[in-house]
A and B are shown apart, each in its own frame.
Chain A
Amino acid sequence: MNKLIVSPAPHVHSGNSIRKEMVSVLIALIPAYLVALYYFGVGAIIVSVTSVISCVIFEYLIQKFLIKGENTVSDYSAVLTGLLLSFNLPSNLPVWIVVIGALVAIGVGKMSFGGLGNNPFNPALVGRVFLLISFPVQMTSWPRPIAWNTAYLDAETSATALSALKEHLGNIPSLFDMFVGNMGGSMGEVSALALLLGFVYLLFKRTITWHIPVSILLTVFIMTGIFYLVNPQTYVSPIIHLLSGGLMLGAIFMATDFVTSPMTKTGMTIYGIGIGIITVVIRMFGSYPEGVSFAILIMNAFTPLINTYIKPKRFGEVRKNG
């Protein structure tokens, strides 16, 4: 008789895998990617393909020659990091800068800590912020959205809504344009509509819960709303804050990164509120026009602390002293 296999229970598995989770997020990014292709055309293709391919290659090489471990490219997390990095970049960024961003994202942000699951900071944002600090000119010249754009490096540029605000330029796109994505900005961040579609898909697939995105968006809305109510001449409406910059992309796709966000719903809410507050403070009082990336990275650092002190509601919790 053939030998029986013995293992402890459970003897069934949901069939869930890291790859399936990553694929869900990739699918959720499709609408935003289509909008990027529509408004930024050739540039969006070049930047995204470069970013994805270099992230995958760097992960493969580091895994093979430095870590000397098993190949982890097949879990698609490098593909996702690459795509998310490109979403956070302007579509007229030269290829060599994109490659440097990918190297920092994967090499420093992820593999130096031991690969997926061990990184304290969101790798794509590590790459993005590195580029923002190192190449401030290239990283803040945003191509103007033109349907079926074929220009790449020579694309006509324009200010983003937030930098226009910061410099009191006053030419803010209409709310409708901001909602569908007809404005300057990083290639994946412009269309709130497309990103929200992705959010609905992620909720439907139960890949993420609503806690992080909703708490970030609500916090930003309420805080900027208070400023707006106090002095509508100086401050813009909270709606503009919600629709501009990387807030939607950050709240839905960057802050919800599994590895770097808290493990409990209460913890996630605290983390989201923190991101919201820091974002508003940077936007209103900082020297950078946009603060979502920094806010997320700062709260990433707080995640272990949140996990230590915020525990899930236990079943049958007995209160102390009573």
Chain B
Amino acid sequence: MKTFKMGGVHPPENKFSAGKKTKIISLPQQVIIPLRHYSGNPSVAEVSRGEIVKVGQLIGRANGFISANVHSSVSGKVSKIDNAMDAFGYKFPAVFIDVIGDDWLDEVDLSPEVKRVCNLEPHEIIKKVAEAGIVGLGGATFPTHVKLSIPQGKKAEVLIINGAECEPYLTCDHQLMLEKGEEIIIGISILMKAIRVKKAIIGIESNKMDAVLNLEKWAKTMEGIEVVPLKVKYPQGSEKQLIQALTGREVPSGALPIEVGAVVQNVATTFAVYEAVQKNKPLIERIITVTGKSVPEPGNYWVRIGTPFTHIIEETGGMPQDTGKVVAGGPMMGRALPSLDLSVAKGTSSILFIPSSESKRGKVFNCIRCAKCVFHCPMGLEPYLLMNQGEKQMWENMEENRVMDCIECGSCSFICPSNRPLVDYIRYGKSTVGTMIRNRKTQKS
């Protein structure tokens, strides 16, 4: 079975919510919709206090190229536009809406019928994707229309669909592939048209064979779509690793996937594209997995963007007694939440409750140079060395040793027998070295 070549780890999968049918979380009393879902610019509020909004109405307009629109996920009255905390612990502007009824914009097609035919031109598709505020739903939340706009002089050859879901615990993509197979395949054909490629490959880890079979069934109805089961190995869902696993091509250090002719999209993003293009439905809801070792009934839930975590937790059986840590996202790369006063953003894939017995890191010992971090690094780096240099603030040496190549997958910290916080120091180094590189560029120009 195919997989990426270098490094990687196999953490316990713990996919407790696998195969659990999606349920719908009821509407909360208030939603808090962040105007910033991604690393780009926050969007600019299009509504003001007291305004009545409908579901699907634009409430935040993209500001600049790397930015995305934001739509209201509920109908009701804008109570305020104020700062709210995101999962990183930073405060960013958000729109607070008091929910009244569930009144959708007329142009959104809410019929259950699946629309297979799309006669739009590539630039029209990209425009629709941009208008619908779609961002990468794998977690990085990079605006999708930017990824679909192929830079001058480059040519896309293959569309890669990321259904790896290599993070332990998470099953939201898995469940989506089971329940919305046909829509995902139509979404893929639309994306293929948008970037003008004849070939698409869906990569799915082999612990989800039911999803592989389901998508294979629907892929037969379209031209040029192939489903490939992959060996279960973390971080398979990382862009560069997935491209290598599926095409054998290696994205050069510092370059984007388009350098090897690939465009990568997550399956959930593909579904959002289908809804936006075929059903005029902007990105206002997503599936999240609520899970954890002590959660009585782990499951997958459709939630509106902006739903407070507390509301979801209440509806799904409450927070387990022994919870020590709550993580948004998977355990390998997710964010530990400082408080539960947060709301679902476009990139929120799960609420994971970690028992207090597993919440604290082990005691740190000396590096015993076992080289496990080097062997397991999927990027061929030397985490032990980068950490040593990070501790001593040797930034130039870190740059020489390719600290910027790190994808922060955490395999090194996961495997280290001395519990060393390797990836922490690498992140520290990346942020400092990144600033250094930017300063150098501005000085030159």
Q: Is the CB of A17 within 8 A of B413?
A: no
Q: Which of B327, B369, B382, B413 contacts A258 (CB 8 A)?
A: B369
B337 within 8 A of A: yes
Q: Is the CB of B334 within 8 A of A6?
A: no
Q: Which residues of B contact A68 (CB under 8 A)?
A: none
B218 within 8 A of A: no
A225 within 8 A of B: no
Q: Is the CB of B382 within 8 A of A315?
A: no
With A6-B338, A259-B369 known as contacts, the answer to whether A314 contacts B402 (CB < 8 A) is yes
Stretch from A115-123, A139-147, A195-203, A242-250 at the B interface: A115-123
Interface of chain A, main secondary structure: loop
Residue from B254, B336, B339, B384 with most neighbouring chain A CB atoms (10 Å): B336
Q: Is the CB of B414 within 8 A of A12?
A: yes
Q: Which of A5, A12, A16, A312 contacts B332 (CB 8 A)?
A: A12
* Total contacting residues, chain B, CB less than 8 A: 72
Stretch from B47-55, B110-118, B267-275, B371-379 at the A interface: B371-379
Q: Is the CB of B415 within 8 A of A5?
A: no
Q: Is the CB of A11 within 8 A of B413?
A: no
B380 within 8 A of A: yes
B297 within 8 A of A: no
A18 within 8 A of B: yes
B416 within 8 A of A: yes
With A4-B324, A312-B374, A316-B250 known as contacts, the answer to whether A20 contacts B359 (CB < 8 A) is no
Q: Is the CB of A314 within 8 A of B339?
A: no
Q: How large is the interface on A (under 10, 10 to 19, 20 to 34, 35 or more residues)?
A: 35 or more
With A6-B325, A13-B414, A118-B366 known as contacts, the answer to whether A312 contacts B377 (CB < 8 A) is yes
B367 within 8 A of A: yes
B24 within 8 A of A: no
With A18-B418, A259-B368, A317-B253 known as contacts, the answer to whether A8 contacts B427 (CB < 8 A) is yes
Known: A5-B359, A5-B360. 4 other contacts (CB 8 A): A6-B337, A264-B382, A307-B385, A316-B250
Q: What are 20 contact pairs spanning A and B, CB under 8 A? A: A4-B340, A7-B325, A8-B336, A8-B421, A10-B410, A11-B327, A11-B331, A11-B334, A14-B414, A18-B365, A20-B417, A116-B368, A209-B375, A258-B369, A311-B401, A313-B380, A315-B379, A316-B379, A316-B405, A318-B254
Residues of B within 8 A of A (CB): 6, 9, 11-12, 89, 168, 240, 244, 250-255, 323-327, 329, 331-340, 352, 354, 356, 358-362, 365-372, 374-375, 377-382, 384-385, 401-402, 405, 408, 410, 413-419, 421, 423-424, 427
